[in-house]
Chain A
C-alpha cells in the first residue's frame, strides 16, 4: 500500500476537458480586446522572384487601414528555430522564395478591410528561374535560392559508425533499394493565430499565440523586433493541435507584435486554412536509398543510407531533422556498422519543418519496408527478422545512446500475436494481408542548449496546490500529466491542483512541446518542485508525529508514518498546524530538470546519449484491398507500445490512436501536391485526411517498463507511434497482393496500375 500510486497511473480526464466540452476553453481566436485591429499578410504569387519595389500608398489610403509594413521597414534580422540555420525574415526583404512567402502585412479596423487593403499593395517583381526538385536544385548551375548556399544544400551530415566496408564484405546478402516519402501537412484543426498588445510605459509587448514553443517564440520575437527578451511576454492560450507545425515563429507573430508596438493597439492575425497549408510547415518529402548487408539468418551487419530531404524554401528545423533521421536508424535494431549521408536541399516550394516523428518517419518507412523485402529474398519471417535484430536494455548503441529500459522485442511479439501473425501472414485470401513495423523515439533531448524545464509548486493555506510550469499543452494533456505527477508526489488528488502553464511572464523556463520531451522533462521538474514543498511540510509533521521525516508518506490527502499506518495526520491539518506554528506560508518548492548527461550531444558534431530515455513500439496492420477500385481499407491496427509506466493510460491511448490514424493518412491518403511551386490541394476537402469513415479498429497494448529516469518510470507516448503505421500498412499490402510499394502514399491509382502490370 505504501508503494501504491493513487493518481499516477489513473485514467483521469484532462483537467480542462469539461471546459473544452462546454466550448469555454479559450483558443487564441476566442480572445478579443477593446479597440482590437485585424491584420492580414500579403503573400507571394511567384515561386522565385526579386522584389523590386512595393507601393503601399493605395492600401494606406483605404479608409480603416491603420498600418502597412513591408520587409524594408523591419530590422535586418534573420531568424530560425535552430540558431545555426537562421535563414528567414519575418517579411521578405529583397526576394521571395516560394508561392505563399510573406511579403507585407496590413492592419485595419476590420478583417474585410485588411483583406481589401492587401489587394491594393502593388509589388513589382523580377521573376527568377525556380527549381522544384531537390535533385535538380543541387546541381551546379541551378537557380540560387539563398545567396552563399552552394548547390542549395543548406545542411549536410555524414557519419560513419563501425567499419562499414568490412561489414559489407562479411555479409551474405546485400540489397539496395530506394524509397520516397511525400509531403504531409500537419493540419491541426485550429488555424495559426496571434494577438499582440503593447504597454508603452513598460515598453513591453504581450503576445497570445497558438504556439508549441512559448519561450523560443519569445527569443525569436526579441531577436527580430530588436527588443530585450524581458520586454516580450508570450502567453499560450489553449492550442488546437500542433503536431510540430506550431514549432516556429511565423509572420503573424512578428506582425502582430510590430503593429501593436507601432500603433499602441491590440492586433489580431488569423491564418485561413489555405495559409496553414501553404505558408506554415509540412513534413519533408524525402528520397532515401538504403543498402543493407545481412547474414543469411537475417542479422543486420551494415547499412548505408543516402537521404535527400526536399526542404522547400527555408531551413526551419533542418539540421535537427536530418540528424534525427540518421541517429534513429540505430534503434530499435542493432546496426553495428552504419554509414549515413543526408542532405537538406532548398527548393522553391512550401517549407518543411518538424512533424510528429521529425525526420524519422521517412527513414523508418525505408528501413521497415526494406526489412520485409530482405526477409522475402532470404526466405525469413518478417517478425522473426525484427526480433533477431532487436536492441535490448543495457546493450551498446553504435552512437552512444544509453538504453536503460527497452520493451521492443516484447512489443514485436505482442503485436504479432494480437494481429494473428502466425495464422494470417501469407495465408489470407488474395487481397487481404497483414504487416508489421517497429520504431523507437526519444523522450526529449539531452543537453542541447536551453533544453531544461523549471517548475514551482506552492501549497496554499487551504491546502490547494498551485503549480507553475512552462510546459506547452497543445491538446495532448501535458498540464494534466504534470498535475498528476505533482498530486502523486504531494499525496493529494488531481482536483487539488491548479496549474498555470506557459506564460513567459509568470512561469519558469521550458523549451516547449517538441521531441516528445514534456512528460519526462517538465514532469521531472514539477516532481522535484513538489518534493521540495513536501519536505518543508514533512519537517513540521515529523515533529508532531514523533517520526523521522524520511519515514513519512503522503497519500490520498493524508500523511502517515511508514510501518505504522495508524499514525496519521490529514494534509489539511498538517498545513493548519504548519501555519499556526508561524512557519512561512505559502510552502514553496522549486524544481529544475535537465536530462543527465556527461557531455554535449548536439549530434551535429558530437555523438552520445541523445535523450533521457527511449520509447519502443511495434505496429501491426491488417488490410484489405478492393481489387476493383484499388482502395485499401485498414481493417485493424494493433499498436504495442513501451512508454515506460504510463502516467495516464487513457491519455496514452488517445495519443496512440491519434498517431495511428495520422500514420494511416500518410500511408494511404495524404499528399501535399505541388505543381510548379503551387500547392494544388490546400483545403481539407482536397487534401483529405482520414475521417470517421476510414477509422480502423485500433487495439493498444501496453508494454510496461519502469524507466529509472522518467518521472514515476514514464517515457514518451504518441509521437513515436506515428513512425511506423505507414510501413506496417504498406508491408500488409505486399502480403495482400504481392506488390512492393516504395513510394507513399499508396493511392488507389497506384494499386490499380500495379495490378494491371502484374496481370501482364
Chain B
C-alpha cells in the first residue's frame, strides 16, 4: 500500500509517494535524488546517512520516512547559507578533514549539532558526540581539528 506524505526538507515541502516501510534514507536518495546523504551500512552503525531532524542528528537508514512527517529535515544539501559554504564545510576543506568524502556529509551534520548546542566544545566532547560517525581514511585527527577551528572562530569579532 503506497501512501502519499509530505516532507519538509531544507525548507522546501516535497510530496512523495512511499511504502510505509521506506526508510528516510531511501526516500531522500531514491525518490528525491538528494544524494548527499550516503548509505554506508544500512544498519545504523556508521553515521554516513546522518540527517538533522528538528536540529538533532538522526540516522536516516534506520528511521522510517513516515516518522519524519511534520518535522524540519536538514540534509547536507541544506546546510549552505546564502549560497556560501557553511563554516564547517570550509573548515573540513581547508584543514584536510576529509579524504574520500563518503563519510563527510554525515560528519559535518553531526558536527553542526555539537556547535549548535555549545559554542566552544572541548575536544573530548567533540570526540564523544561524533563517535557514531565512522571514517576509515583520516584517522579522525583533522576532523577534530576542523570542528575545533570553527568553534574557535565563533565569537571572534563576529
CB under 8 Å from chain A, chain B span 84-110: 85, 89-90, 92-94, 96, 98-105, 108
1/0 contact trace for B46-63 toward A, CB 8 Å?
A: 101000000000000000
A657 interfacial contact with B, CB 8 Å = yes
Mask: chain A, 706-732; 1 = CB below 8 Å from B; 0 = not: 000000000000000000000000000
Contact check, A683 vs B102: say whether CB atoms are below 8 A apart: no
Query: Pick the contact of B43 from A21, A187, A273, A659 — CB < 8 Å?
Result: A273
A275 to B23, CA, bound (A): 21
Is chain B's binding surface mostly helix, strand, loop or mixed?
loop
**25 A-B residue pairings within 8 Å (CB atoms):** A11-B96, A13-B93, A13-B94, A17-B93, A17-B101, A18-B93, A21-B92, A21-B101, A21-B108, A23-B36, A188-B136, A189-B136, A273-B43, A273-B45, A474-B100, A475-B100, A475-B101, A475-B137, A650-B96, A654-B138, A654-B142, A684-B43, A692-B140, A692-B144, A698-B141
Is residue B128 contacting chain A, with contact meaning CB distance below 8 A? Answer: yes
Binds A, one of B1-9, B65-73, B75-83, B150-158: B75-83
Contacting B136 at CB < 8 Å: which of A30, A653, A662, A698?
A: A662
Binding-face segment, A167-175, A235-243, A408-416, A547-555: A235-243
Assembled-state Cα–Cα distance A264/B41 (Å): 30
- In A469-494, the 8 Å CB interface with B consists of 474-477
Residues on A with C-beta less than 8 A from B130 are 692
B115-143 residues at the A interface, CB under 8 angstroms: 126-128, 130-143
Interface: A622 (CB within 8 A)? no
- Residues B76 and A22 in contact, CB atoms below 8 Å apart: yes
Please report the C-alpha to C-alpha distance between residue A187 and residue B35 in the assembled complex, in whole angstroms.
21
Task: Write the A619-662 contact mask toward B (1 if CB under 8 angstroms, else 0).
Answer: 00000000000000000000000000000001101100111111
Contact A660 B139 (CB under 8 A): yes
> Which of B37, B39, B127 gathers the greatest number of chain A CB atoms within 10 Å?
B39
Pick the most buried of B96, B104, B131, B137: most chain A CB atoms within 10 A of its CB: B137
Q: If the complex has contacts A22-B76, A191-B39, A684-B43, are A17 and B98 also in contact, measured as CB distance less than 8 A? A: yes
Summed over the interface, the residue pairs from A and B with CB atoms below 8 Å come to a total of 170
Mask: chain A, 11-38; 1 = CB below 8 Å from B; 0 = not: 1011011111111111101101000000
B42 to chain A, nearest CB (A): 6
**From B39, which residue of chain A is reached at the shortest CB distance?**
A29
Contacting residues, chain B, for A662 (C-beta < 8 A): 136, 139
B38 CB–A CB distance under 8 Å: yes
* Chain A residues within 8 Å of B98, by CB: 14, 17, 20-21
Nearest Cβ in chain B — how far from A463, in angstroms?
A: 25
| Contacting residues, chain A, for B93 (C-beta < 8 A) | 13, 17-18, 21
The interface residues of chain B lying within 8 Å CB-to-CB of A25 are: 101
Complex Cα–Cα for A532 and B143 (A): 39
Q: Are the C-beta atoms of B96 and A16 separated by less than 8 Å?
A: no
Residue of B nearest to A684 (CB): B45
| Chain A residues with CB below 8 A from B138, complex form | 654, 657-658
Q: In the complex, which residue of chain A has the Cβ closest to the Cβ of B128?
A: A693
Q: Which residue of B lies closest to A650 (CB)?
A: B96
**A242 to chain B: closest CB distance in Å?**
8
Q: Which of A62-95 contact B (CB under 8 A)?
A: none
Q: Is the CB of A20 within 8 A of B139?
A: no
Which residue of A is nearest B101, CB measured?
A20
CB distance from B102 to the nearest CB of A (A): 3
- Most chain B CB atoms below 10 A, which of A23, A32, A187: A23
For the complex, what is the distance from the CA of A189 to the CA of B135, rounded to whole Å?
7
Flag whether A55 is at the interface (Cβ < 8 A): no
Q: Could you tell me the distance between the alpha carbons of A364 and B92 in the complex, rounded to whole angstroms?
A: 34
Contact A475 B103 (CB under 8 A): no
User: Is the CB–CB distance between A238 and B101 below 8 Å?
Assistant: yes
Smallest beta-carbon distance A494→chain B, Å: 13
Extra contacts besides A273-B41, A689-B136, A698-B139 (17): CB < 8 Å: A18-B89, A20-B98, A21-B93, A23-B75, A189-B40, A189-B102, A189-B103, A240-B102, A270-B39, A273-B40, A273-B43, A651-B96, A654-B139, A654-B142, A684-B40, A689-B134, A692-B144
Known: A241-B102, A657-B138, A695-B127. A684 touches B46 (CB 8 A): yes
A241–B43 CA distance with the chains assembled, in angstroms: 19
Alpha-carbon distance A26/B100, docked complex (angstroms): 11
Within 8 A of B (CB), among A675-698: 683-685, 689-693, 695, 698
CB distance from B20 to the nearest CB of A (A): 13
Is the beta-carbon distance between B139 and A695 smaller than 8 angstroms? yes
Closest B-chain residue to A686, C-beta based? B45
| Residue A190 is within 8 A (CB to CB) of chain B in the complex | yes
Per the bound structure, the CA–CA distance linking A695 and B135 in Å amounts to: 11
Using A22-B89, A240-B100, A692-B127 as known contacts, say yes or no to A683 and B140 having CB atoms under 8 A apart: no
Check A241/B144 contact, CB under 8 A, given A22-B89, A273-B41, A662-B136.
Answer: no
B35: A residues at CB distance < 8 A: 23-24, 26, 30
A272: Cβ under 8 A from any B Cβ: yes
Name the interface residues of A185-218: CB closer than 8 Å to any CB of B: 186-191
List residues of chain A with CB within 8 A of the CB of B142.
Answer: 653-654, 657
A32, B92: Cα distance in complex, Å: 28
Q: A residues within 8 A CB of B85?
A: 18, 21-22
Residues of A within 8 A of B45 (CB): 273, 683-685
Nearest B residue to A19 by beta-carbon distance? B101
Q: Which of A658, A660, A661, A662 has the most CB of B within 10 A?
A: A658
Q: How far is the CA of A190 from the CA of B92 in the complex (A)?
A: 19
